[in-house]
Structure 1
Amino acid sequence: MSEPVSIIGSPISPYVRKVLAMLELKGVAYRIDPIAPFVGNDAFTRLSPLRRIPLLIEGELVLNDSSVICQYLEDRYPAPALYPADLADRARARWLEEYADTHLGDVLIWRLFFQLGAKRFLFREEADEAVVRKAREEDIPAALDYLETQLPPEGFAFGELSIADITLASFFRTAAFVKYAIDASRWPRMAALVTQVMALPAMRKLATIEDRIVRLPLAEQRAALADMGVALTPTTLGDAAPRHGFRRS
């Protein structure tokens, strides 16, 4: 029997979450090294020269960047398909994934979650309230205005569940940890999409894992996941002191 793939990165990260969701939905065995993005050691840097999560390790293969990893998983494990069959829809789905990875990564993760969560938790630094206020009042609403125009009145973005739905929901799931919720009266399509995706058994399973560790000290998270029966890598790449420098992946 082949070894399960290894995923390096905290499931609280939206980039890691979408990879784990792909694995869960495709029924691929995996184990995880749930490191926070800021605590990778020198071995992590050698594998991820941009110091980003997630990493996928499968035998001698090491892949960086969540979009690269997800496309690899789709090609290697084609069923069930998580990219639209229609070429135009597939391109649009990849665009929504890219929009989420870049722009939502900026406004939801760096201007909101990092400021209110990671910055305080890891670095004991205060949030920049002006950045947070602008994100809540201007940046996130503008992003939601755009996304609302890209979705059908109901259901998934392209009929069947796809990488676009998984990615969009993953970012708003992380934002929920700092008490951000989509106003369903203003953006009903986006709110319904996130609710629908997060209700999937695979996403509920991941949410249970995330909820268990989100407020635990980093040093306690592996043990907590082991107690839940989560398959872990034999060793960790996350035993260095926190340092700034992580960006999207």
Structure 2
Amino acid sequence: MTEPLTIIGNYLSPYVRKVLVCLELKGIPYRIDPIAPFVGDDAFGRLSPLRRIPVLLDGDLVLNDSTVICEYVQDRFLEVPLYPADPVQRAKARWLEEYCDSQLGDVIVWRMFFQKGVRRFLFNEGTDEDVVRGAREEELPVALDYLEAQLPAQGWIFGEVSIADISIAAFFRNAAFVRYQVDAARWPRVAGLLERAWALPAFHTLARYEDGSLRTPLPEQRAALAAMGAPLTETTYGTAAPRYGVRRPG
């Protein structure tokens, strides 16, 4: 590989985080244009017709959707496999990834993180507290009950860290951003997996940039991340005024 891969997408997106963790675990060089999809310009719209993040650029190749990107990365860079070799386990891992992308995406990203963060600070709109309350008290516990039944008491789901572990940990980072902590007494297996995953150097490296982004208004994030040494692209697609696009970013 002559040039690093390029990832377009904000550090605070769990879909972007999932891709970046895969790249970090595999040791693949990359650069990032840390935009939110809401501020992507017209050129971004041509790269991402659904106006979602992440987007991967690899030479002339443009890929959308975090799952497609992670599978491409796995197929191209075989070292440090992140999908189980066994076809049954591989299918189960892909299902857990999809469950996170869809169900946790709806509950954690849109009904909690978007309501408490993006909607307030980017669009200057009020939080629908009933939506947040329902997500925290009703929907997320159901998801946690399901995940608790799928996880081992110790270690990783399929023996070695996989896309399933990465996906679960990536989404619950956003729950932590809005001060939701998994009850370790009620869901010990989920809480244990999160503790193990977040302790990985890949998650730890990204957490520094995530925390810096959380403390910084979106228009100032790129400069703040540059000062922190983030591997930024030379140019950005994030030059448009904030606007709603297609609902789910990932």
Q: TM-score, structure 1 length as denominator?
A: 0.98
What is the percent sequence identity of the aligned residues? 65
- Give distance in 2, aligned partners of 1:24 and 1:190: 23
Asked if the contact 1:39/1:240 (under 8 Å) is kept, the reply is yes
Q: Shift in Å at residue 38 of structure 1? A: 1.0
Residue deviations 1:163-205 (CA, integer Å, cap 9, x gap): 0000100000011111011111100000110110000011100
Q: Read off the aligned partner of 2:14 and give its amino acid letter.
A: P
- Report how far residue 155 of structure 1 moved: 1.2
1:181 and 1:158 map into 2 onto residues whose CA distance is 25
Mapped to 2, the partners of 1:99 and 1:248 lie a distance apart of 15
**Residues 33, 233 of structure 1: 8 Å contact kept:** yes
- Name the CA distance, whole Å, in 2 between partners of 1:166 and 1:123: 30
Whether the aligned pair in 1 keeps the contact of 2:51 and 2:249 (CA below 8 Å) is: no
Q: Is 1:247 the equivalent of 2:248?
A: yes
Q: Which residue of 1 aligns with 2:96?
A: 96
1:232 is matched by which residue type in structure 2? L
Greater alpha carbon shift after TM alignment, 208-217 vs 132-141:
208-217
State the partner residue of 2:201. 201
**Aligned-pair CA distance for 1:240:** 0.7
Question: Moved runs in structure 1, 4+ residues, more than 4 A?
Answer: none
Cα distance in 2, alignment partners of residues 87 and 225 from structure 1:
40
1:191 equivalenced with 2:194 (yes/no): no
Q: CA RMSD in A?
A: 0.9
The one-letter code sitting in structure 1 at the alignment partner of 2:143 is A
Are 2:13 and 1:13 aligned? yes
Tell me, yes or no, if structure 1 residue 164 matches structure 2 residue 186: no
1:140 is matched by which residue type in structure 2? L
Mapped partners of 2:230, 2:122: distance in 1: 24
TM-score, normalised relative to structure 2: 0.98
Structure 2 residue ranges without an equivalent (≥5): none
1:52 is the counterpart of 2:60: no
Give the corresponding residue for 2:30. Answer: 30
Which deviates further from its counterpart, 216-225 or 164-173?
Answer: 216-225
Question: 5+ residue gaps in structure 1?
Answer: none
d(CA) in 2 for partners of 1:103 and 1:205? 26
Opposite residue 107 of structure 1, the aligned amino acid is V
Which residue does 1:106 correspond to in 2?
106
Q: Which amino acid in 2 is paired with 1:118?
A: V
Q: Give the AA of the match of 1:247.
A: R
Task: Report the Cα distance in structure 1 between the residues aligned to 2:221 and 2:117, rounded to whole angstroms.
Answer: 16
Shift of 1:89: 0.5
